[in-house]
A = this chain, B = another copy of it.
Amino acid sequence: MKFGKVIGRVVSTQKVESLEGLRFLLVQPMNEKLEPSGNAIVAVDTLQVSIGEIIYFETSKEASRVIEHTMNPCDAAIMGIVDDIEITERK
């Protein structure tokens, strides 16, 4: 899982049936120092995360398991909200 910041929302009316009713947020991936890293992605949100929050997300197959209808196609999902990152050892 990687860190990210929710920076916006994606509006889409016409989509594949299995994505109907889901909320799509725009997530900026970040490194462990919470600096932006790479392009923003579109992730499914089932936690009602607010814009601006620091979250961790998953990509790949696992992401689809967040969604109740398991056959939903989905390759990115928000997994949790970060309360704190404790870095106690240097690389």
Residues of A whose CB lies within 8 Å of any CB of B are 1-3, 5-16, 18-19, 24, 26, 28, 31-32, 36-37, 39-43, 46-47, 51-52, 56, 58-66, 71-77, 79-91
Contact = CB atoms under 8 A, between A and B. Distances in A.
Contacts of A74: 1, 58, 62
A7 B41 contact: no
Contacts of A43: 1
A79 to B, nearest CB: 5
B51 A84 contact: no
A73 B79 contact: yes
A58 B74 CA distance: 7
26 contacts: A1-B24, A1-B42, A2-B39, A3-B42, A5-B91, A7-B32, A8-B85, A10-B85, A10-B86, A11-B83, A12-B80, A12-B83, A14-B47, A14-B81, A26-B85, A26-B87, A31-B39, A32-B40, A40-B91, A58-B75, A59-B75, A61-B62, A62-B64, A65-B71, A65-B73, A73-B79
